[in-house]
Structure formats: C-alpha cells, structure tokens
C-alpha cells in the first residue's frame, strides 16, 4: 500500500479550547465545487492537524493512504436510535441543519472542480487520537493498574450482592427515608468484615460503616457520614498523601461524545461529573482516544469499569497532582474515510494534488456549530448579550430535524406548558443539556435563568461561547481573503514565538499567507491593523 506524505498550508487561528464541541456531524458533504480537501473512492485521508495559533492555511502533515477495501459489506454499525423509531438517517440529520456558508465558510484556495462524498457514513470512518501538549499522541495500549499497597483487594468489588448495592446507592443518593442499611455478615470473620467495610466506603463515597451485633448475628451498618455534603465526595482521609490526587487515564470510546461518556462514567462510579477534566471534547460519530483526569478515584475502580461498559475502554493509568484543562492539547490526529465518491479520477487527483501542495483554509468545521436548526453560535451570542430568555428559548424550543423521540416530546411539552417539571418528565435521560437546564429552572424558578443555566457543566456552557467566537472567526477570515487574497499584506498578524506581531510595510515580502494568523475575538486581543 502506497503512502504519500504531504505538506499543506493554513491560515492559523488561536488554539481552540473546545475544537470539536457538539460533534454529531453526519453529512453528505460537498467537499467542494472549488475545494481541495477531498479524496478518491476507497481511500482514507490520514491527517495530523495541529492547532496552536490558528493560521489561515493549515500547515499540516497528511498521509493519503489508498484503502484496498473488500467488496463485502461490513456489518451495519449499531447507531443510537430513536426510542420509538428507526435509527437517524444522514439525510434527516442534515435536512434542517446548517450549510457551510451559514457559518462563514465561503472561500477556497484553488479553482478546480473538486468532488463530493460521504463523511462519517459509519462512525468507524472517523478515528481521532488526541495529541498532548508535549506532542505525544494518545494511544490505549496498557490496561495494567499501578501497584499501590493502599488499594483495596479485588474481593472488594464482588463481596456485595446486587441487592446490597442497590440499597446502598439509594441510601447514598438519599432516595428513601432510610437512615442506614444493615448488611448481614454470612461468614463472620474479621477479614470478611474488613472487606465489607472497605467495599462500602470505596464504592459509595460519603458513607461510613460500623459493626453491630443483633440477635447473635454480626451486621455491617452503613450510614451517612455528614448528610448531603458528603454525597459523592471521596473522603479526604481515605486518600494516601503520597499519591497524586488525580488519576489520569486514556479513554477509548465509540459513537459517544466526550460529555456523554463522562456522564456514563460518573453514573457507574456514583460520583458527580464535575470531578472529571479533559483537554478537549471529541466527536460523537467517531472512534476517539483521549486523556481524562478524575479527582480521587483509584485506577483500580476505573479499570473495573472495563468489565461492564460497552463501547468504552479505560487504561494507561497514572496518578498526578493536577487536573486537565480545556485547550491544553497540541491538536488531534485524524484518520478519515470518504465513501460514495462522485467525480472522475482526474478531478480526484486534482483535489489530492491541491490538498498536498497548497492546503486548505483552516476554517472551524461544521461540528463546532451543531447539527440541528438551532446553531450553537446563536446561543453563544445570546449569552454574551445577557439575553437569558432567548438562551432558555433556543435551548428548549422545538426544532426541525432528526432528534431522539424523548427530546422531541420534551420540547413539545415545554412549548405547550412552559412547565419545567412537566417537560422534565418526558426525559428519561436527565443529564443532557436540556435536562440540566430544566432541573435548574425547577430549582431556581423561571425568573432566575442565570442560576438555572449555571447547573449546566462549565465545559458545556463554554461550548456556546466558543461556537460564537468561531463563527466570527470564519466570517472575518472569508472577508480577509475576499479583500486581500492569498498573500500577506501590511497590517496582518504573524507569530513570533507565542506572541502575535503586525507585519510592517517594509517586511511584507518576507512573509507568505502561510505565516498569517487571525485572532479569536475576546479580551485583551491583538487585532490586525487593516480594515
């Protein structure tokens, strides 16, 4: 199999903190009438995109790998489907969605005809590996658990029955009026009692235990250590001082976005999602590998999830003293397959040549802006304008296009009644953004939308702001290219180290479009001097 390594060019943008937010892009994509990013039928394009400061023409390494695909059809991938309907179709998903011109993507670097094809026809057609700040590409290749004398024995995870776990969870989450749970010790030995004590305390943070003798039988009594405040917070004294407070691990996931994955992990671990941190959200319709950090959860507990989770794998565990922060990554490495290619061999070769030799304008892609008729940038703009009624309306109102059946019913109920409790009853999944906002409205009332919105995790809230910044960036880049073309001009910005500086009249011949960067709008930002 031939591999062609290519260099392409780019207009740089500032490092995104959330470059693939809300990523459920399923689209028969016009790669271009005048585009340069396509590939031939049965080929995959492997691309390393790096996003320190966003340059206008992407300067990347791409490997074009002809894919000698068998004629046999692969098994159909199981997709998340509507609870009372068929799996979402690509056409339905994008019928009411955005076009490239809606989000400022209007210019191309070359004038060849181009071709079209289907991107992400299967989620396995899009493979993402995160690139850390140190340039290391994340791979899941080690399932071993760091040896730690402080860790409980493996028996900790099996000593409690399913019924015991159910009762303990209800006690931990204060779901009933019981103030304690009694677990009979069948084989009464000190060792057995110790294991049960450890199991309750490690699997159900916030609960304490004691041993009682009742009618000649030994019972382990579990109870709340400090009421609601202890809920889901690992006990401080149970964590060894010599061990880093954060367990870092590599998460492999299929067909789930990062925030959904975090919600699933937190549910199984019985903790709050906000104790997890990560450097960037990854696409839903993809296979992705990225680093995650979690506060005071042992590698042993995390590794145990590999036995009970579908489409997830966790590994490469280590303990460190710091969480992860959004944007602290160098970029992502993508392997992409395009299917159902339309175009002649000459058109495909022209596009591949252009991609290798010239590159592409490094716009923020469609996944940044959502896949429904309500773009995320509209919500971001309303937040910046302090128009909280519009924020609430945009997130909750009915919208055309394919969505899960329960979301459609929730939106219809909201439009009809404006009653958070009634709309919430239509949602079996309460941890989605809509469910979180409705819970906030129920808690704080319709006149305190800001506090209600604050219940949505910070990373999700930031996604809307980043989307609007990206929308402005795309539009300004298109206007810049329309005005000055693909050359450096006086007043443009370029990078010297990590600092943006203006290109002066006398130095303009020393720069090309490859050197030009554009800033995201924000606080304390240097802007170009030209119009």
d(CA 250, CA 131): 12
> According to the 3-state scheme, what is the secondary structure of 384-401?
HCCCHHHHHHHHHCCCCC
d(CA 302, CA 144): 11
d(CA 263, CA 273): 6
**Burial class of residue 111, CB neighbours in 10 A (0-12, 13-18, 19+):** exposed
Q: Any idea which residue has 């609870």 for tokens?
A: 83
First to last CA, the chain: 49
Helices and strands, number each (H, E), in the chain:
13, 19
Is the separation of the CB atoms in 262 and 249 below 8 Å? no
- 80 is annotated as an active-site residue: no
Phi and psi at residue 98, to the nearest 5°: -85, 155
Is the separation of the CB atoms in 517 and 499 below 8 Å? no
Q: Is 513 helix (H, G, I), strand (E, B) or coil?
A: helix
CA distances from 501 to 159, 388, 488, 525 (A): 63, 37, 13, 11
d(CA 12, CA 332): 15
Q: Is 130 helix (H, G, I), strand (E, B) or coil?
A: strand
453 phi-psi bin (left φ>0, alpha ψ -120 to 50, beta other) = alpha
Is the separation of the CB atoms in 319 and 292 below 8 Å? no
Q: Considering 125, 151, 257, 283, which one is annotated as catalytic?
A: 283
Catalytic residues: 283
């Amino acid at each position: 199999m031939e591999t062609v390594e290519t260099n392409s060019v780019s207009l740089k943008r500032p490092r995104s903190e959330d470059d693939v937010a809300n990523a459920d892009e399923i689209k028969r994509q016009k790669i271009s009438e005048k585009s340069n990013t396509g590939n031939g039928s049965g080929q995959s394009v492997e691309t390393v995109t790096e996003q320190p400061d966003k340059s206008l023409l992407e300067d990347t390494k791409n490997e074009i790998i002809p894919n000698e695909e068998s004629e046999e059809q692969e098994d159909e991938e199981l997709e998340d489907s509507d609870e009372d309907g068929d799996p979402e179709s690509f056409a339905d998903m994008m019928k009411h969605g955005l076009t490239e011109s809606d989000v400022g993507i209007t210019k191309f670097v070359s004038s060849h005809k181009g071709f079209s094809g289907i991107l992400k026809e299967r989620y396995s057609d899009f493979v993402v590996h995160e690139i850390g700040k140190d340039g290391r590409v994340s791979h899941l290749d080690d399932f071993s658990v760091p040896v730690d004398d402080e860790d409980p024995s493996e028996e900790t995870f099996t000593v409690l029955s399913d019924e015991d776990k159910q009762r303990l969870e209800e006690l931990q989450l204060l779901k009933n009026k019981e103030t304690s749970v009694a677990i009979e010790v069948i084989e009464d030995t000190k060792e057995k009692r110790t294991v049960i004590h450890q199991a309750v305390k490690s699997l159900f943070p916030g609960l304490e235990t004691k041993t009682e003798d009742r009618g000649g039988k030994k019972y382990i009594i579990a109870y709340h250590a400090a009421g609601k405040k202890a809920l889901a917070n690992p006990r401080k004294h149970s964590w060894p001082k010599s061990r880093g407070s954060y367990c870092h691990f590599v998460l492999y996931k299929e067909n789930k976005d990062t925030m959904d994955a975090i919600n699933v992990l937190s549910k199984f671990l019985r903790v709050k999602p906000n104790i997890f941190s990560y450097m960037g959200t990854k696409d839903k319709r993809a296979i992705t590998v990225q680093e995650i950090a979690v506060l005071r959860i042992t590698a042993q507990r995390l590794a145990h999830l590999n036995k009970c989770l579908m489409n997830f794998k966790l590994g490469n565990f280590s303990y460190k003293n710091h969480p992860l922060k959004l944007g602290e990554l160098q970029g992502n490495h993508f392997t992409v397959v395009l299917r159902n290619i339309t175009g002649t061999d000459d058109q495909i070769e022209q596009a591949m040549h252009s991609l290798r030799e010239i590159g592409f304008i490094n716009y923020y892609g469609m996944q940044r802006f959502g896949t429904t008729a309500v773009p995320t940038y509209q919500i971001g703009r309303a937040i910046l304008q302090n128009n909280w009624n519009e924020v609430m309306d945009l997130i909750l109102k009915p919208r055309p296009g394919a969505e899960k059946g329960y979301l459609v019913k929730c939106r219809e109920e909201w439009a009809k009644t404006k009653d958070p409790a009634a709309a919430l009853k239509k949602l079996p999944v309460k941890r989605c953004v809509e469910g979180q906002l409705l819970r906030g409205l129920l808690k704080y009332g319709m006149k305190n939308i800001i506090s209600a919105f604050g219940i949505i995790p910070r990373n999700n809230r930031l996604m809307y702001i980043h989307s609007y910044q990206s929308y402005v960036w795309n539009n300004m880049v298109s206007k810049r290219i329309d005005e000055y073309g693909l050359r450096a001009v006086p007043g443009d910005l370029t990078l010297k180290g990590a600092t943006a500086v203006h290109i002066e009249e006398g130095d303009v011949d020393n720069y090309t479009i490859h050197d030009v960067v554009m800033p995201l709008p924000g606080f304390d930002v240097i802007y170009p001097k030209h119009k």
